[in-house]
Amino acid sequence: MKDFFLGLKEKFAGPVHEEEEVYEPQGEEYLELGSAAPREEKSRVLVRPFVMEEFEDIKEVLDVLREGSTVALINIRPLKEKDLVELKRAVSKLRKTCEAIDGDIAGFGEDYVVAVPYFARIHRNQID
List Cβ<8 Å contacts ≥24 apart for 80-87.
80/111, 82/53, 82/54, 83/54, 83/55, 86/54, 86/55, 87/52
In a domain, 124, yes or no: no
In a domain, 69, yes or no: yes
Give the whole-angstrom CA distance, residue 14 versus residue 67.
Answer: 51
For residue 126, the model assigns a pLDDT of 77
In a domain, 79, yes or no: yes
pLDDT mean for each 10 residues of the chain (128 residues): 67 56 60 60 82 94 92 95 94 95 92 94 81
For residue 85, the model assigns a pLDDT of 94
pTM over 0.95: no
Provide the number of structural domains found in the chain.
1
For residue 127, the model assigns a pLDDT of 72
For residue 75, the model assigns a pLDDT of 96
Which among 96, 35, 110 has a CA at the least distance from the CA of 61? Answer: 96
Phi, psi of 114 (to 5 degrees): -110, 130
In a domain, 86, yes or no: yes
In a domain, 37, yes or no: no
In a domain, 95, yes or no: yes
112: domain CATH number? 3.30.110.150
Q: Which domain holds residue 73?
A: 45-116
In a domain, 30, yes or no: no
In a domain, 49, yes or no: yes
